[in-house]
Structure 1
Amino acid sequence: MNKAPLGRLIGASLGPGDPQLITRRAWAALQSGARWLYPVKKAEESSYALGIVERGGLPVPADAEALVFPMTRDAIALAKAWARAATRTVELLQQGRDLVFLVEGDASTFATFGHLTRVVRELAPEVIVDTIPGVSSFAAAAASTSLTLAEEDETFAVIPAAYGVEVIDRLLDEFDTLVLLKVKPLIDEVLALLEKRDLLATSCFIEKVGSPDERIVHDVASLAGEKVNYLSLMLVQNPKRVRGELRRGCRKTRPASPHCGSD
């Protein structure tokens, strides 16, 4: 006897906080009749991702369901939480109805959705996953602050600040712009490094970008000693970085082409 086909698992990227940044494709998925799943840190707690959709004016379906993803570094607790979330997701998919998982920011960038899909596929390898891209927090932050992440031949990198100031210090010599995500635990250490590198004036702090509580701080030194929100990042530009020589034009291994030119 053939099994009924599974529903699709759709990751709907919602952007970092402003419902106007929800793409038309994600908006259509939310209204497609698929059942909504949304992440929470604790049972009965509010969901940041769900709040974005609610601010956009869409009513929450009665059968929308929360999946708990606790904020902990306890490997055992995390493994149990992921297993529960994935098992429940597969149970719902087996009903044949599509599921749309609400993702703040972009589903492919430091998002819960990527981990969820891996565990779901371990349980149900045949599941079809549809990932809808969206606006990342750092792209929205750059727009809100009128800063440019990279121009022409410039480079930029995106890293969690948790890698530590030694890594950040080294990368400042490798990239013109650094995006430091989740700076809350290391804010004072990062500020001390920026002061040492004389980069305070070319750095900007953004908290809850795109949400009603968005906060932009250009005078980042004023944040010393402050307890900032978990949903915060810092854009650090190093205009004094020494760049290496770039190879321009066509590769020498290719035959001459009329379409190749010089800068």
Structure 2
Amino acid sequence: MTTSYGKLIGASLGPGDPELITRRAWTILQSGARWLYPVKKAEETSYALSIVARGGLAIPDDAEQLIFPMTRDPEILTKAWARAAAHTVELLAAGRDLVFLVEGDASTFSTFGHLARVVRELVPQVEVETIPGVSSFAAAAASTGVTLAEEDETLAVIPAAYGVGVIDHLLDEFDTVVLLKVKPLVDEIIELLDRRDLLATSCFVEKVGAPDERVVRDVTSLKGEKANYLSLMLVQNPKRTRGELRRGCRSRKEALEAASA
């Protein structure tokens, strides 16, 4: 007997404001698909679930959590991902669609992409749909009035965990740099921005779109504070020739010829 699997759907909810949930995601949430939502540990409150709840939708009785622990231990992570994917396949085998709730955008630094990939490795015939949404940095830029890029200006988006050495290099290469998940490195980043004289053109945003959203323009005031996990920085380098990476001293053709020489 051939199993008829349900569809796995990643529903992007935006970073915190339920009014940023797209019409497509809103429709899917009310389609009768079973809800799955991520947590870091059992019985913990889900931020993604809270976004939907603030939007006024009742949480279904059969909504179920998937645990994705906050650790860099590869053994723990591998086991957790395997359990989550196996359970997801088990639920899909009932033939009912599953909608996985994703804060922000499901294609940008999201657990959904990895979950979907592992599920497809286990059962290649499972259909996957990704519903796009508003990313945290796009919402933060709108909230603070920062323009991320104009015309041929350049933009880099990276997790701050790459370290201040990489961040320092990117500030020379890009007009605007977005630093995600800055919590562990706030003090080090502030020191770097101070050395680069970029404090005045940097902005810290925490839990954008949520009721307790926090915007800090005087980023030096954050020194010694513990930032929330859902925090980022927008950094612009006005001293750089805007769009220099694209216009540059060499054309695209010349750059390719130099690389192949």
| TM-score, with structure 1 as normaliser | 0.92
Could you tell me which residue of structure 1 aligns to residue 27 of structure 2?
28
- Structure-2 change in CA distance of 1:245 and 1:16 (3 Å): closer
**Identity across aligned pairs (percent)?**
78
- Counterpart of 1:91, as a letter, is E
- Counterpart of 2:137, as a letter, is F
Could you tell me which residue of structure 1 aligns to residue 222 of structure 2?
223
For 2:173, what is the secondary structure of its paired residue? coil
Q: Distance in 2 between matches of 1:108 and 1:75?
A: 22
Q: Distance in 1 between matches of 2:183 and 2:50?
A: 22
For 1:117, what is the secondary structure of its paired residue? helix
- Counterpart of 2:13, as a letter, is L
For 1:173, what is the secondary structure of its paired residue? helix
Q: Distance in 2 between matches of 1:153 and 1:124?
A: 43
1:131 aligns with 2:127: no
Could you tell me which residue of structure 1 aligns to residue 93 of structure 2?
94
Q: Distance in 2 between matches of 1:232 and 1:131?
A: 24
Is the CA contact 2:33–2:99 (under 8 Å) kept in the aligned structure 1?
yes
Is the CA contact 2:141–2:147 (under 8 Å) kept in the aligned structure 1?
yes
Aligned counterparts, 1:202-217, within 5 A: 202-217=201-216
Unaligned stretches of 5+ in structure 2? 254-261
- Superposition deviation, residue 204 in structure 1: 0.1
Q: Distance in 2 between matches of 1:6 and 1:159?
A: 36
- Superposition deviation, residue 244 in structure 1: 5.0
| TM-score, with structure 2 as normaliser | 0.93
- Superposition deviation, residue 74 in structure 1: 1.1
Greater helix proportion: 2
For 1:172, what is the secondary structure of its paired residue? helix
Could you tell me which residue of structure 2 aligns to residue 246 of structure 1?
247
RMSD: 1.3
Q: Distance in 2 between matches of 1:245 and 1:8?
A: 41
Unaligned stretches of 5+ in structure 1? 253-263
Query: Aligned pairs, how many?
Result: 248
Is the CA contact 2:158–2:179 (under 8 Å) kept in the aligned structure 1?
yes
- Superposition deviation, residue 245 in structure 1: 6.6
Could you tell me which residue of structure 2 aligns to residue 59 of structure 1?
58
Q: Distance in 2 between matches of 1:21 and 1:99?
A: 21
- Counterpart of 1:216, as a letter, is V
1:60-105 deviations in whole A, cap 9, x for unaligned? 0011000000101111111111011000000000000000000000
Is the CA contact 2:152–2:246 (under 8 Å) kept in the aligned structure 1?
no
Q: Distance in 1 between matches of 2:240 and 2:102?
A: 35
Q: Distance in 1 between matches of 2:204 and 2:245?
A: 29
Aligned counterparts, 1:149-164, within 5 A: 149-164=148-163
- Superposition deviation, residue 246 in structure 1: 2.4
